[in-house]
Chain A
């Protein structure tokens, strides 16, 4: 077993073709708060990954969930950031549109959390995902992704246009969301 990532909240380990995501305890908070949060978030994350999958959004298959740990399929592919093209960006727009149309918001969309494998895109890391169908939540979700386009990809305008095309094809009312993305940008937050 090998630790492949360590964030503010969880440690990600790889064991064969299984990812083990463990939410680590925080000494600064009371045990009661710490354990409740880790347990609830682990359960919610696993549930939302499965729910997204049922809606037709490719996500890892959940293998096991215990108190603070999720065991799931390892998506052995390339992060979108290494292989992105306008065509793949349009495809990313389609899966995010599908996710939003199911009432889910990813909460941390980046080109590192979208994986390309076998000609398909998978969404991973639902640690900040939640249920929300508001224009604002969807707008922030997409805005965060567009920022990773801008900071790491040269032809970002082309990529953004392609994404919007894919997104609009999958979500009724997508225009409103895209309009909101512009407004969120002008607020200068989430930078």
Chain B
């Protein structure tokens, strides 16, 4: 560890690699900031993300991404962090292999981190949120999480596919390019009417697969902007409702938005209104920290490294179904 001249506490420098799905990204962080970050994004030629092709993309770019990041800021690295799951198996394995190799060659410990928790922690780092209910929405994941008694608990989640995946599936079926979310958001602005679509909240969980199919059906009879608008309004209302329930249940005073779908301005507006009406704070990190990024993996790695977590190579196997509530949180 290097010592900080302004502070008696030693600073830590962590190298982190993210590559659970479409985005391969490596970063170096210390307590205060992102020192370096390099990203290589997989863009399918047509259709959606193909797990094997994404992994091949990661494998062919990982060397360059790691080298460039090291070149930009790679001195005195204390540990190598990597996303151990959840994610696409082939992509996870590629990243884990690179992380193991880098940790061996730098002769520093390895720290395997949970991808969902990394989204929350980078949000707490880069906003004023301290103990929020987090709505984490991405292609594969849709969860409402909050910290309680040593774990990030899942208060609500999707019963089938993630909201991003649902948007992409619908977009693909009507001939919009991948990723579908931003195009749907644009088209929704031209809508003239709302078309009834199924709203599925069961207890604290939601489901999007039926909604996606119903939207495809609706498009046979209605204009595309109307369907896009109705899809967004229905899906986002489900997400906001469960987030509000978690807020009421836990009594927390903050909401944090995380994940790539968090870029959607209508979703932000709806969450913002709910928070305003309840008199609580709403936080949205800068866009670069919302979608999958290497900095969040490095930063959670830093928190865990300082709390004494080390991942031995035999325990570094990836877990495509790694749940956030499995992790015992000792850093807060």
Residues of A at the B interface (CB closer than 8 Å) are: 7-9, 26-30, 32-33, 36-37, 107, 128, 130, 140, 188-189, 191
A147 CB to closest chain B CB (Å) equals 12
Task: Tell me if B's interface is mostly helix, strand, loop or mixed.
Answer: helix
Q: List the A side residues contacting B148 at CB < 8 Å.
A: 191
Between A7, A26, A128, the greatest number of chain B beta carbons within 10 A of the residue's beta carbon is seen for A26
Q: State how many angstroms separate the Cβ of A151 from the closest Cβ of chain B.
A: 10
Assembled-state Cα–Cα distance A63/B202 (Å): 27
Given the known interface contacts A32-B194, A33-B233, the answer about A191 and B151 at a Cβ–Cβ threshold of 8 Å is: yes
Q: Residue A28 contacts which of B154, B237, B248 (CB distance < 8 angstroms)?
A: B237
Q: Are A191 and B325 in contact (CB under 8 A)?
A: yes
Flag whether B70 is at the interface (Cβ < 8 A).
no
Number of A-B contacts (CB under 8 A): 56
Given contacts A33-B233, A191-B148, A191-B325, are A7 and B203 in contact (CB under 8 A)?
A: no
- Residue B244 contacts which of A8, A33, A37 (CB distance < 8 angstroms)? A8
Bound complex: CA A36 to CA B198 (Å): 11
Is there an interface contact between A28 and B270, defined as CB atoms closer than 8 Å?
yes
Q: How large is the interface on B (under 10, 10 to 19, 20 to 34, 35 or more residues)?
A: 20 to 34
| Seed contacts A8-B245, A33-B237; 18 additional CB < 8 Å A-B pairs | A7-B248, A8-B244, A8-B248, A9-B245, A27-B273, A28-B240, A28-B271, A28-B273, A28-B277, A29-B237, A32-B196, A33-B194, A33-B233, A36-B196, A36-B199, A130-B202, A191-B148, A191-B325
Give A23 to B234 CA distance when docked, in angstroms: 19
If A188-B325, A191-B148 touch, does A30 touch B271 (CB 8 Å cutoff)?
Answer: no
User: Which residues of A sit under 8 angstroms from B154, Cβ to Cβ?
Assistant: 189
Residue of A nearest to B276 (CB): A27
Closest chain B CB from A44 CB (angstroms): 13
Judged by a CB distance under 8 angstroms, whether B77 is at the interface is no
> With A7-B248, A191-B151 as given contacts, are A30 and B203 in contact (CB-CB < 8 Å)?
no
